[in-house]
Chain A
Amino acid sequence: NAGVTQTPKFRVLKTGQSMTLLCAQDMNHEYMYWYRQDPGMGLRLIHYSVGEGTTAKGEVPDGYNVSRLKKQNFLLGLESAAPSQTSVYFCASSYSIRGQINSPLHFGNGTRLTVT
């Protein structure tokens, strides 16, 4: 099993450019998440999805959009990149336990994005 796979691993954008980060999981997990990690700030939730076709905002959603057209994929889009979006982006997935709580998260290895 590959687990959670993120592409690309690295990317450099100029201010105003757009891009899409792809996350794929092969564990049939219902929940998927996008986090950003900045020095001293920990992991902050951008958007998440509780199932195919559904998305919800997290703590820091501004400037990002997401889509979950297929259960195994969760896409994160930046329509007009800004230097403040320079960060390491992590995708994660989990499954529901008895409909009440979530399993531990399975993380990808991140995408390092630099916006100049």
Chain B
Amino acid sequence: EDQVTQSPEALRLQEGESSSLNCSYTVSGLRGLFWYRQDPGKGPEFLFTLYSAGEEKEKERLKATLTKKESFLHITAPKPEDSATYLCAVQARQAGGSYIPTFGRGTSLIVHP
């Protein structure tokens, strides 16, 4: 069974204190790993897609990386506005032939000023 595990469940940082969030996965035939950001009371918003080991994507203070077993979301010098829940999802082929994403439980990030 495909599994996606995110750690830590919650993370508190001081403004400017860099850190990383982890997403480990066990799927057969990975066809993309996605990172989303979710603010309270809102739906998740897309951040990055990674398709192959070694790939990296960057956006402002965020950088996502991918290996064959896990992905990291690095946050450099975070600001309070980076506070949110970060979700990881992996996409693999299902029995019926469709590619459906499976989500991890998320990491809740709070950045204190």
Contact = CB atoms under 8 A, between A and B. Distances in A.
Interface of A: 4, 31, 33, 35, 40-45, 48, 50, 56, 58, 90, 92, 100-102, 104-110
Contacts of B41: 109-110
Contacts, number: 60
B43 A45 contact: no
B96 A56 contact: yes
B49 A104 contact: yes
Nearest to A40: B105
Interface string B95-107: 0101111111110
Chain A at the B interface: SS class: strand
Contacts of B9: 40
B80 interface: no
Given A42-B105, A109-B41, A102 B96 contact: no
Given A45-B100, A107-B45, 8 more contacts: A4-B43, A41-B105, A45-B102, A48-B100, A56-B96, A92-B43, A102-B99, A109-B43
B73 interface: no
Interface size class of B (residues with CB under 8 A): 20 to 34
> What are the 3 tightest A-B residue pairs by CB atom distance, in nearest-first order?
A107-B43, A42-B105, A104-B46
Contacts of A90: 43-44
A109 B43 CA distance: 4
B101 A42 contact: no
B31 A101 contact: yes
Nearest to A91: B43
B103 A42 contact: yes
B31 A43 contact: no
Contacts of A45: 100, 102
Contacts of A50: 98
Nearest to A105: B101
Contacts of B98: 31, 48, 50, 56
